[in-house]
Structure 1
Amino acid sequence: MTMIRSLLVFIPFLWLIPASAAIESVTVFPDRATVTRVVEMNVEAGSGELVQPDLPTNLSRDSLRISATGPDGLRLGAYRLETRRGSERVSERARDIEERLQSLRDRRDAVDDDIEAREMQLALLRSLAGGAGQGDEKLAVDGWSEAMQMIGSGAEEVLAARRQLSLEQRELEEEIERLEQELADLGQQQQDTLRLSLAYESASAGATAFTIEYTVSGAYWRPVYEWRLDTGADELQVVQFAEVRQRTGEDWSDAELNLSLSRPSAGGRLPEVSSWWVDVQPPEKKDSGDRARVAGDQLQRSEMELAAAPAAEAQWDGAELVGSEYTQAYRVPGRASVAADNQPHRFRLDEFSVDVALSARTVPRYQQTAWLYAEGTWEGELALPPGSVTLYQDSTLVGQARFDGVAPGGELASSFGVDDRITVEYELVRDDRATEGMLSKSTVLIRTHRISVSNGHSRAIDLTVFDAMPVSRDERIEVSLAESTTDPDRRDVDDRPGVLAWDRALSAGEELELTLGYRLKFPKDLPGVQGW
């Protein structure tokens, strides 16, 4: 009878046992993540309560969504979130380090005890050595020899053991210090959690799946690229990766991972256009320097706020593009795990081939070298977001660059290192100063450079030479190209005043010579010209 009462008391509390909610999927945005957990359990007819004790404290409470599928008549009631203080560290790596540290500290204590025991043995041997031959019975000569041999042999063993223990003690201290520093670098504190309690009522018993979805900060992903140029095939291989980091307070283990191209930080509201008023400037008032500085700081902050906005080669798994035309995401193949340690995890998303045109470009005024350049049209269905690019030319690393992103139909272009088969020379051939005019005298400055380029390739190559001529900021300074100048093919390149470009096709072994001269004229009474 007593056992039956115990069972009757225990049964109602079965429905308050915390449920295990596995992380089913994670969608990572550039500045946050949405986590979906699923709790599968059997519910009985009547009222009950689902308890999920380990949600992260930094979840957005407004983003919490709960749904369930189960037997007919299942209804969800009110829920509450409570903060629970914890003693465990957040990441699995931090917990592993703490366990290792505890083991090393225990071993260090044992070594300290062993060293103390050896010290006691040495003290005993020193006492025996100091008291040998004393007392009523003196040791015979043979006894002295035997005692010295015994004490000496014992001392050697004890000293050797102490040396070994001291060495182990030092190694333990170094390892403990290293792990303590690594733990400090992780920045992991004790893990507080949120406890979710959800009331429900079911008209019948049956299997039920509760879905808990929420958004957390402390997670992001960024695009990372490899651009591999094949100069023999005039082809650029674009390999796209994603680097994911997270310190949300919970490890994502064996979950479906999606990398969204949406930007929640942009907000869900279209900015409103305010009226733009123009008025007569009021008379300037004298004010203290402090107020002027405050006003300047306020203006600067306002401007910043406005501006912010041969054997078989192993094949890689590629990510699947999912979603609609307006909300798209990469789905990483299989299941993925990302620990909450803020360490980078890379996933390969896709690979594309782009036909490119190869050319050479040089800016001899600054560097007498030519750079290999590749450009092609991006014909993919999806825009490539901005990211860092590692550049390879024929499987050789040539450098890194920043990629600004490209929309379908846009241009993919980059330099791929110095082209050593093209030689460039930049030579000053004239630098004169003269005076013109009879009554109104003017100073005339003339400077001329010769640019020589030689194509050492066994194939023809398109070449672009960039340079610049002076641009006057004062109408009294007249600037013009000298008569000896080779006419440039383009002026004010990319809307940059004074920038010139010569586009040429060089056949194999061909040499090119260009002349660039410019003439400055200004009144003689001017004190001088800056920037010449």
Structure 2
Amino acid sequence: AVKQRVLLKQIQKLQQELKQIQSSRPRQRYEAVVDVTVSSPGSFTPTLTYMVQRAQWQPLYDVRLVENAGSRLIKLAQLAQISQQTGEDWQGVQMTVSTARPALNQRMPEIHPWFVDAYVPPPPMPQPAPMRKSAARLMRAEAAPEMEVGAAAMAADAYMEEADADVVMATVQADDISVSFELPGGIDIPSDGSPRKVTIGESELEPKLDFVTIPRHTDAVYRRVTVVNNTEAPLLAGAVSLFVDEVFIGSNRLEYVPGGADIELLFGVEERIKVERELSRRDVDKRFLRDKRQLRYGYEIKLHNLLGQPAALVVKDQLPVSRHEEISVKLTEANPAPAEQSDLNILEWKLSLAAGAKTTISYEYMVEHPRQLQVTGLLD
């Protein structure tokens, strides 16, 4: 153990010295020779364009639901997080980030022959020369610390502290092939891989807010916001940070949203709308003269709006779905009737509940099957 600690300290010291040497070594430089033919004397400013590796960016979003005196607004901030490890710091550069990926379009992949053959076992390995146990034990003891030290050094080398990112403003350009975001002024991006955040754009969108609950699984009522993407460009897939006013409520992921399409986001749980689901009926037909067995179930879903303003509610529940031709499931009563019932027996009610109001949804369904048939899946 003492020898391992000594070796680990030596390796860490050597790695630190190596990093200092690498950071202080002279940078590689390239020269470009340009042949120019002009028809008359004059001056011009050449522009040299070249590709570099290990530079990347990813879209991020801050979406804020602002509520004020009964009115609601969505504030959408589009961000680009940029980092690079090209070996040279970018100082005061004019930058454009784009969704175009030129490296993927340089060459089409080739198809090579795909062979199958009979398996031929490999020749037997030669037996190692005999070794005395003490020597073998010594070799294993010396090798183990080296492996452990190496793993620790790799883990330490892989760790990188992420620096805070700055924010600036940008403008957007879109065409049929890609989306590009032009960043104003000079941008500084260090070559250590630390991220820099750039605000691509900010928009204010009119939201449609409703509240969704699935009381069979939870008594939570979720805020659901739907807005139309009327920004200048499509919204690329990326991480979303969600806020209600100034309160951070969580993160999600936004998939690609073209211009004019709907964006649907959940903004946490609304505690001021109460929901309760109760079993109100469970009957079994006990008449033995019938060759069919009938089970009847009834449920009540009670809702109470304590928001202080009207609320649009979507309530979802479900009936069992038969996977056997002799088992039938039927909705026999519902008050009010559901707005939708899917092929998989998902029920959906759409209600408008006034401030302080209470309401109850009640429904019943029947399961019928041959008396001798054993049925699984009836959980209640």
Name the TM-score, length of structure 2 as normaliser: 0.70
Write the deviation string for residues 407-434 of structure 1: whole angstroms up to 9, x where unpaired: 2221122121111111111112233433
Match of 1:215 in 2: 51
Does structure 2 conserve the Cα–Cα contact (< 8 Å) formed by 1:423 and 1:455?
yes
Q: Are residue 504 (structure 1) and residue 351 (structure 2) matched?
A: yes
Distance in 2, matches of 1:350 and 1:328, equals: 13
SS in 2 for 1:214: coil
Q: Are residue 330 (structure 1) and residue 181 (structure 2) matched?
A: yes
Distance in 1, matches of 2:27 and 2:287, equals: 83
Tell which structure's C-alpha radius of gyration is larger. Answer: 1
Unaligned runs of 5+ in 2: 1-8, 110-118, 120-166
Q: Evaluate the alpha carbon distance shift between residue 231 and residue 268 of structure 1 in structure 2; reply closer, same or farther with a 3 A threshold.
A: farther
Write the deviation string for residues 6-41 of structure 1: whole angstroms up to 9, x where unpaired: xxxxxxxxxxxxxxxxxxxxxxxxxxxxxxxxxxxx
Supply the AA of the counterpart residue of 2:210.
S
Write the deviation string for residues 285-311 of structure 1: whole angstroms up to 9, x where unpaired: xxx9xxxxxxxxxxxxxxxxxxxxxxx
Q: Evaluate the alpha carbon distance shift between residue 195 and residue 408 of structure 1 in structure 2; reply closer, same or farther with a 3 A threshold.
A: closer
Does structure 2 conserve the Cα–Cα contact (< 8 Å) formed by 1:435 and 1:442?
no
Supply the AA of the counterpart residue of 1:225.
Y
* CA drift at 1:461: 1.2
Distance in 2, matches of 1:329 and 1:482, equals: 57
Does structure 1 conserve the Cα–Cα contact (< 8 Å) formed by 2:75 and 2:202?
yes
Does structure 2 conserve the Cα–Cα contact (< 8 Å) formed by 1:191 and 1:249?
no
Write the deviation string for residues 71-96 of structure 1: whole angstroms up to 9, x where unpaired: xxxxxxxxxxxxxxxxxxxxxxxxxx
Write the deviation string for residues 76-126 of structure 1: whole angstroms up to 9, x where unpaired: xxxxxxxxxxxxxxxxxxxxxxxxxxxxxxxxxxxxxxxxxxxxxxxxxxx
Q: Evaluate the alpha carbon distance shift between residue 244 and residue 412 of structure 1 in structure 2; reply closer, same or farther with a 3 A threshold.
A: same
Q: Are residue 417 (structure 1) and residue 264 (structure 2) matched?
A: no
Does structure 1 conserve the Cα–Cα contact (< 8 Å) formed by 2:326 and 2:369?
yes
Q: For 1:81-160, what aligned pairs fall within 5 Å after superposition?
A: none
Write the deviation string for residues 217-251 of structure 1: whole angstroms up to 9, x where unpaired: 32221111111111223110001111112223332
Write the deviation string for residues 439-497 of structure 1: whole angstroms up to 9, x where unpaired: 6x2333333221111001221111111111112222222111133564211122xxx72
Q: For 1:406-445, what aligned pairs fall within 5 Å after superposition?
A: 406-435=257-286, 438=289, 441-445=291-295
Distance in 1, matches of 2:294 and 2:103, equals: 57
Q: Decide which of 227, 230, 237 is 2:63's aligned counterpart.
A: 227
SS in 2 for 1:407: coil
SS in 2 for 1:528: coil
Distance in 2, matches of 1:408 and 1:399, equals: 25
Q: Decide which of 244, 252, 260 is 1:401's aligned counterpart.
A: 252
Distance in 2, matches of 1:383 and 1:488, equals: 35
Match of 1:368 in 2: 219
Distance in 2, matches of 1:455 and 1:395, equals: 24
Supply the AA of the counterpart residue of 1:219.
A
Does structure 2 conserve the Cα–Cα contact (< 8 Å) formed by 1:219 and 1:245?
yes
Distance in 2, matches of 1:476 and 1:350, equals: 59
Q: Evaluate the alpha carbon distance shift between residue 502 and residue 345 of structure 1 in structure 2; reply closer, same or farther with a 3 A threshold.
A: same
Distance in 2, matches of 1:343 and 1:436, equals: 75
Q: Decide which of 494, 516, 520 is 2:363's aligned counterpart.
A: 516
Does structure 1 conserve the Cα–Cα contact (< 8 Å) formed by 2:179 and 2:233?
no
Does structure 2 conserve the Cα–Cα contact (< 8 Å) formed by 1:242 and 1:347?
yes
Does structure 1 conserve the Cα–Cα contact (< 8 Å) formed by 2:272 and 2:306?
yes
Q: Evaluate the alpha carbon distance shift between residue 434 and residue 328 of structure 1 in structure 2; reply closer, same or farther with a 3 A threshold.
A: same
* CA drift at 1:319: 0.9
Q: Are residue 475 (structure 1) and residue 311 (structure 2) matched?
A: no
Distance in 1, matches of 2:97 and 2:322, equals: 51
* CA drift at 1:438: 3.1
Q: Evaluate the alpha carbon distance shift between residue 325 and residue 430 of structure 1 in structure 2; reply closer, same or farther with a 3 A threshold.
A: same
SS in 2 for 1:405: coil
Match of 1:17 in 2: none
Match of 1:280 in 2: none
* CA drift at 1:350: 0.7
Does structure 2 conserve the Cα–Cα contact (< 8 Å) formed by 1:252 and 1:337?
yes
SS in 2 for 1:216: coil
Unaligned runs of 5+ in 1: 1-172, 272-287, 289-315
Match of 1:238 in 2: 76
Q: Are residue 257 (structure 1) and residue 95 (structure 2) matched?
A: yes
Q: CA RMSD in A?
A: 3.7
Distance in 2, matches of 1:420 and 1:487, equals: 26
Distance in 2, matches of 1:265 and 1:446, equals: 63
Match of 2:376 in 1: 529
* CA drift at 1:265: 6.6
Match of 1:450 in 2: 300
* CA drift at 1:327: 4.0
Name the TM-score, length of structure 1 as normaliser: 0.51
* CA drift at 1:200: 4.8
* CA drift at 1:435: 4.9
Does structure 1 conserve the Cα–Cα contact (< 8 Å) formed by 2:172 and 2:232?
no
Does structure 2 conserve the Cα–Cα contact (< 8 Å) formed by 1:320 and 1:330?
yes
Write the deviation string for residues 160-180 of structure 1: whole angstroms up to 9, x where unpaired: xxxxxxxxxxxxx9xx98x95
* CA drift at 1:348: 0.8
Q: Decide which of 172, 190, 194 is 1:321's aligned counterpart.
A: 172
Q: For 1:165-204, what aligned pairs fall within 5 Å after superposition?
A: 180=16, 193=28, 195-196=30-31, 198=33, 200=35
Q: For 1:275-424, what aligned pairs fall within 5 Å after superposition?
A: 317-322=168-173, 324=175, 326-424=177-275
Q: How many residues align?
A: 308
Supply the AA of the counterpart residue of 1:423.
K
Supply the AA of the counterpart residue of 1:385.
L
Does structure 2 conserve the Cα–Cα contact (< 8 Å) formed by 1:485 and 1:517?
no
Write the deviation string for residues 359-403 of structure 1: whole angstroms up to 9, x where unpaired: 211111111021222222222231111211111112211111111
More helix by share: 1
SS in 1 for 2:48: strand
